[in-house]
Amino acid sequence: MREAKLREYLNTLETNQLKEEIVEVFKVFDDVKNYYNLKISGKLEESLLRACKERLVEEFSNYPNNKIRYYKISEILMEFQNISTRAYDKVDLMLYYIDLAMGYIQLNGIRDEKLIISLEGVFEKALNIIFKNNLQEQFKEAIELIINKNVINSEDLKCILQDTKNNFQVKLKKV
């Protein structure tokens, strides 16, 4: 169903019916419960962000002895993206992952193509959220640190980072 169709349906409901509908959805779906728990209690979202960061550290702690479990990393990031109500926190977790991964690459001298591709995708998603929500100023320093780290020998990522640097500077001037 498209959002327009949902809005059309919701517009047919009275306020009390709408409240009952929300309560019913809350009872049935865990994701909705999590969403409202986070929306109502900001501290819960902060603890979830901390827990996700700890889980990311855990995933890298066995590396390079074991293979990186990309599905686990993706699961952690997606779980938080789906539950979090704050764009700032979503970007914070993505940039934390990127910084963590780049640190491990630098520390271990590892050139894992799958990791590079993962970093590229997450970085682009983070930038999209930053620009969409006008968070350039809040993440300016973090983005510049990532761009200047330059620990990855990937031409694609270097191009993305250079384009990002240019776009970021242009969009910052507009703010």
Cα 63-64-69 angle, rounded to 5 deg: 50
Q: How far is CA 85 from CA 54, 97, 117, 173, in A?
A: 20, 19, 27, 28
User: Per-residue pLDDT for 104 more than 90?
Assistant: no
Cα 108-75-6 angle, rounded to 5 deg: 145
158 confidence band (pLDDT: 50, 70, 90): low
Q: What is the mean pLDDT of residues 68-88?
A: 90
DSSP letters spanning 9-21: HHHTS-HHHHHHH
How far from the centroid of its chain's Cα atoms is residue 124's Cα?
A: 10
Closest C-alpha among 98, 92, 68, 62 to residue 80? 92
User: Per-residue pLDDT for 120 more than 80?
Assistant: yes
Looking from the CA of 98 toward its CB, the CA atoms found within 13 Å total 29
Q: Where exactly are the structural domains of the chain? A: 1-40, 45-174
Choice between 150 and 175, residue whose per-residue pLDDT is larger: 150
| 61 CB neighbour count, 10 Å cutoff | 10
DSSP at 123: H
> In this predicted model, what pLDDT tens digit does every residue of 8-63 receive, in sequence order?
998 999 999 999 999 999 899 888 887 787 777 767 778 889 999 999 999 888 76
